[in-house]
Amino acid sequence: MVGNTIRGLVDAGHEVSLVSLNTEKRYEDALPPNDELLQRIQYRSYDIDASVSLMDAMLNLFSHDSANINRYYDPAFERLLIREVRNTAYDIIQFEGLFVAPYLEEVRKHTKAKLVYRAHNIEHQVWQRLAHQKSDPLKKLFLKLIAARVKRYELQHMNSFDAMSVFTEQDRLTMMQYGAKGKIEVIPVSINMSKYRPDPHKTEFPSLFFLGSLNWMPNREGIEWFLQSFHQDFVDGNLRCRFYVAGNDIPEQFDEYEALGKIFIQGEVDDALEFVNSKSIMIVPLLSGGGMRVKIVEGMAMQKCIISTTLGAEGIAYTKGQDILIADTREEFLRAINRCVSDEEYCKRIGRSARKLVEQQYDIAAINKHLVKFYNDVLSAS
C-alpha cells in the first residue's frame, strides 16, 4: 500500500522520502529491505518494540490513555523525525495510520509542510466490532474499553491535520459524522498491475486459500471462525477440495487445524504472488475491521475467484456475483464454495471480471493522479 503510493509518485517525477517505524523488524507496511524503489527515494528506518506485556496491559486498565497507541511512541524516533523535517523543506508530510499520530505535535513545530493523515481504518471501529463478536463477557468488556480509548484519541486528533484521505466513501462519511472539519478525500488502494501476471496453468483446481497476517486481530478472528465452522466438512470430504492457510505470525496452535491431505497450515510463504497464483479460490472471512482490504484487490488482479464477507469487501466497487462472491454466514459460504468447486469455468469467469475491475478502478497511475491533485488542492488552500 505505502510502496505503491511511493512508486506512483516517484514515477510521476516527485521527490519522496520515507521515514519508517518498523515494529518487530517487519517491513510489510512499508518497503522490504531489498526493494529497488529504496534506491529512488530518501529512506530512514527505525526499529521499535511495540509489544505490550501483561503487566503493562493490567496497569493500563487504570489509565485513561490507550496503550495500543502509546506503545508506538519512542523519544528517539521522535528526535529522528524532527531532524528530518528540519533538514528538508517538505511540501506534504503524510502520516500513515493512527499509530504515528503521537508524533504529530512535534513534527508540526518544526515544519511548514501541510500535514496529511491517511486513515487505514476507522481504528476504534475495529475494536468495537471485535468486542461485538465476543461471547465471553470479560473479553467483551476489555475490548470495549480499548475501543473507547482509541475512539477518544482518534476523535481528538482527526482535526489536528490539515487534511485527511480515506480508502472508502463509508469511512469519509463516518469521519464527517464524528465532526471532521477539514478536507477529506476518498483515495482507494492502488496497485501496480505489471506485477500481477496470473498463469492459470500453474493453478490447482479446485483449491481454497487464505492469505493474511494473523498479528492483525480481525484476520485471526475471521480465519479461526472459518476453520472451526468448516473443519469437519474438509475432514469428512463434504468439501471436495484442499484448503491452504498462509501468512505471517500464525500461532503454533493453528497446527491443530491441519488435516492430512485436506487442510494445510503453511505459515509464511517465500513468494506471496506465486502462492496466490497456485490456488484457485480465495477466502476472506472477515468479521470485524474496516477500511479497504489490499489483499482482495491483489487477489482480483491475479484473477482469483474470491468469496468474502460484506465487511471484507467494503470499499471495493464490486458487483456481487460478477467479480466477487459475498457470503456472511456459514450457509452462504458453504453454498458459494460448493458452486465454485463444481464449476471451474464459473470461477474463471469471476476471476477475469475481477481483474478487469482492478484494471479500470485501481491501477496505480490513475489513483496517483488523483492523489497528486488532492495534494495540490491542500497546498493551494493555504
What is the model's pLDDT at position 29?
Answer: 47
What is the model's pLDDT at position 23?
Answer: 77
Report pLDDT digits (tens) over 284-304.
Answer: 999 876 666 889 999 999 999
23-27, 154-158, 176-180, 236-240: least confidently modelled range: 23-27
State the DSSP string of 240-251: -SEEEEE-SS--
Report pLDDT digits (tens) over 100-116.
Answer: 999 999 999 999 999 99
pLDDT band (50, 70, 90) for residue 67: low
Mean pLDDT of 46-75: 68
What is the model's pLDDT at position 146?
Answer: 86
Boundaries of every domain in the chain: 2-190+364-380, 194-361
Q: Topology of domain 194-361, per CATH? A: Rossmann fold (3.40.50)
Report pLDDT digits (tens) over 242-259.
Answer: 999 999 889 999 999 999
What is the model's pLDDT at position 26?
Answer: 46
Mean pLDDT of 27-31: 50
What is the model's pLDDT at position 224?
Answer: 94
C-alpha of 25 from chain center: 18
Mean pLDDT of 13-40: 74
- Mapped onto helix, strand or coil, the DSSP state of residue 296 is helix
Report pLDDT digits (tens) over 82-97.
Answer: 999 999 999 999 999 9
What is the model's pLDDT at position 121?
Answer: 81
Q: Topology of domain 2-190+364-380, per CATH? A: Rossmann fold (3.40.50)
Q: Is the pLDDT of residue 264 over 80?
A: yes
Percent of the chain with pLDDT over 90: 58
pLDDT band (50, 70, 90) for residue 172: very high
Report pLDDT digits (tens) over 112-170.
Answer: 999 999 998 888 887 787 787 788 888 888 888 888 888 888 888 889 999 999 988 88
Q: Is the pLDDT of residue 382 over 70?
A: no
Q: Is the pLDDT of residue 54 over 60?
A: no
Q: Which residue reads 528517539 in cell numbers?
A: 76
What is the model's pLDDT at position 25?
Answer: 45
CA distance 291 to 243: 26
CA distance 135 to 282: 28
CB neighbour class for 248 (10 Å; exposed up to 12, middle 13-18, buried from 19):
middle
Mean pLDDT of 223-239: 94
Report pLDDT digits (tens) over 294-351.
Answer: 899 999 999 999 999 999 998 899 999 999 999 999 999 999 999 999 999 999 999 9
Asked if 190 and 292 touch (Cβ cutoff 8 Å), the reply is: no
What are the grid coordinates assigned to 372, written together?
497528486
Q: Is the pLDDT of residue 377 over 90?
A: yes
Sheet containing 92-96: give its strands across: 92-96, 114-119, 163-166, 183-186
7-11, 196-200, 264-268, 355-359: least confidently modelled range: 7-11
pTM above 0.85, yes or no: no
What is the model's pLDDT at position 315?
Answer: 85
What is the model's pLDDT at position 300?
Answer: 97
